[in-house]
A and B are shown apart, each in its own frame.
Chain A
Amino acid sequence: MTTHANEILSIRHLTVDFGGVRAVNDVSFSLRNGEMVALIGPNGAGKTTIFNLITNAVQPTGGEILLNGRNILGKSPDQICRLGISRTFQNIRLFPQMTAYENVELGLHSTPRYSLAEAFLRTARARRIESDTRQKALELLEMVNLQEHAHARASSLPYGLQRRLEIARAMATSPQLLLLDEPAAGMNEDECNELIELIRKIHNLMKYTIIIIEHHMAVVMELCRDSRIYVLNLGSLLTVGAPQEIQNNPDVIKAYLGERKNARDLSAS
């Protein structure tokens, strides 16, 4: 496998065992800068595990992960975040007692921008940095349309808004690569359409490279119209292709629905 100049992420022969179970088995794929691809597969296929491996929440048994050509294996999750990978969580993990604004702000100052002495004395420079941070946090909230909820406690927000807030918080660390873990989970059709629009917008505006794990096929098909979908099954990469190909691929249908003959409604699910 050769390394392309504009290849941002390259995963090679990634494998992880949990006890006797091989959760991810020899998965390889790579992304070019600015792409938006999806990772789909039935429950337990290893999708979230791949996100956990990329952010080093889980250590792989074998293989390598290259970010901009540099191996990031063995770096701690916070170092990986600083290198430019940010994520959202399948089971929302906001800071529950903080306001929406504070959640986003945290992503901006997780590496404090002024020294400890300046923190205690709150110098003019520290205050200027804080007001810059505040400005940026409010801009991000506006981008995901949460400006009215800026001072609501995160845990008090409705589910759909919490998902959007997680995206804003992930954006706050100014990533190059954004990993979205089921951003549409639990959303109705209207909310899904809003979400599609939102992800499109931030993708175009911020030039992120994005990987989405999603079960809502309508969302996946729409967002990856012009790119690829990776299908995982039982830890292995089953196939890769454009949405149309994936929808009509008999192996994919089999993986999702078992051996049943009549599987027309995969795209409607």
Chain B
Amino acid sequence: MGYINAILILCGINIIAALGVSILTGYTGLFSIGHAGFMALGGYISAILVKEFGVHFVIALLAGGAFAGICSFIIGYPAFRSRLRGDYFAIATLGFSEAIRLLLNNTQEIGTIKIGAAFGYMNIPSHTTVLVVVIAVLMALYFAHMFVTSQYGKNCIAVGQDEVAAQMMGVDLLKTKLLALFISAFYAGVAGGLLGFYFAYLSPSFFTITKSSDLLAAVVFGGIQSLIGPVITAFVLIAVPELLRALAEWRLIIYGFLFVIVMIYRPQGLLGYVEMNLHFAKSWWAKLRRKSKPAEG
């Protein structure tokens, strides 16, 4: 049971971070290969708040997310201001997250707080349970849905589809992109916090480029402009390698192969443009009622 719980928790954390990447990459069309950096920022800040200052862990999670979000402006503002092209922006995010990882790797202490450099930050209070993760995932999904269906989210989609046309129609590109980046960094930050509260310790080695590319893979496989697609793939991409431990060494090779297949045959991703909705349930219910009516009459 403990093993299954562990997998569920890790899947849930991955789903939250992937939802963040989905808002940025899937909806706004900005590729990031540096979301592990935002996870690290959120993770360390929420862990420090709980361990050193005795803050309630829910508040610490939100604060960690907000901190990651605010830090995203450091890279977002100059990049979007100078209209850095998509692929360059992706490289900038990679540089940013590597810089954060290396900083953490070489920082023994911040003031009197010992974060342990490469050995990791130890003895973080443990708060992440299956219940906490399930609630967090449901809330993350709910708010992501609210965002992408709002006027703000639709502007993000427009920017993703045709930046020039969106701007000509009055969309403020800088604000819209910064907002998408903030929200997506916030999600990653919260996921990082949950990770720390689960393992009870954090190490810079959790937040390498492999983590970032896993998240991006979840969005590319899962589908652009879809929330449910990345959720499913984020789950599968964690759960399957865990269950098939024997194939662990082949994981990256299989990923690469799948990437190529998806790009050739389904460039929009497996569930690209498929929105999470209850239409199928509604039509099923309508059919059921149609059937039962004549019987009543």
Q: Which residues of A contact B (CB under 8 A)?
A: 55, 57, 76-78, 81-82, 86-87, 89, 93-98, 102, 105-107, 109-114, 116, 119-122, 126, 130, 133, 169-170, 172-173
Contacts of A107 in B (CB 8 A): 169-170
Give bound CA distance, A55 to B170, whole Å.
Answer: 11
A89 CB contacts on chain B under 8 angstroms: 165
Interfacial chain A residues near B150, Cβ < 8 Å: 112, 119-120, 122, 126
Residues in B with CB closer than 8 Å to A172 are: 169
The reply to whether A109 and B155 form a contact with Cβ atoms under 8 Å apart is yes
- Interface pair A114/B154, CB less than 8 Å apart: no
- Interface contact A57-B168, CB-CB below 8 Å: yes
Task: Using CB atoms, name the residue of chain B closest to A109.
Answer: B151
A-B pairs with beta carbons under 8 A, tally: 91
A77, B158: Cβ atoms under 8 Å?
no
Interface members, chain B 139-159 (any A CB < 8 Å): 143, 146-147, 150-155, 157-158
Q: Give the CA-CA distance A170 to B168 in the complex, in Å.
A: 9
Closest A residue by C-beta to B146: A120
Alpha-carbon distance A97/B160, docked complex (angstroms): 10
Asked if B169 contacts A114 (CB within 8 A), the reply is no
Question: Which of A78, A81, A105 contacts B154 (CB under 8 A)?
Answer: A105
| In the bound complex, CA of A89 to CA of B150 (Å) | 27
Q: How large is the interface on B (under 10, 10 to 19, 20 to 34, 35 or more residues)?
A: 20 to 34
Chain B residues packing against A (C-beta within 8 Å): 143, 146-147, 150-155, 157-158, 161-162, 164-173, 179, 225, 273
- Distance A102 CA – B162 CA, assembled complex (angstroms): 14
The 8 Å CB contact of A77, one of B143, B151, B161, B168, is B168
If the complex has contacts A119-B151, A120-B146, are A78 and B165 also in contact, measured as CB distance less than 8 A?
A: no
Cα A111 to Cα B151 with chains together (Å): 8
> What is the CA–CA distance of A215 and B100 in the complex, to the nearest angstrom?
57
Question: Is A57 a contact of B164 with CB atoms below 8 Å?
Answer: yes
Q: Which chain B positions have C-beta within 8 A of A98?
A: 157-158, 161
Closest B residue to A130 using CB positions: B151
Q: How far is it, in angstroms, between the C-alpha of A122 and the C-alpha of B154 when the chains are bound?
A: 14
Q: Which of A81, A89, A93, A95 has the most CB of B within 10 A?
A: A95
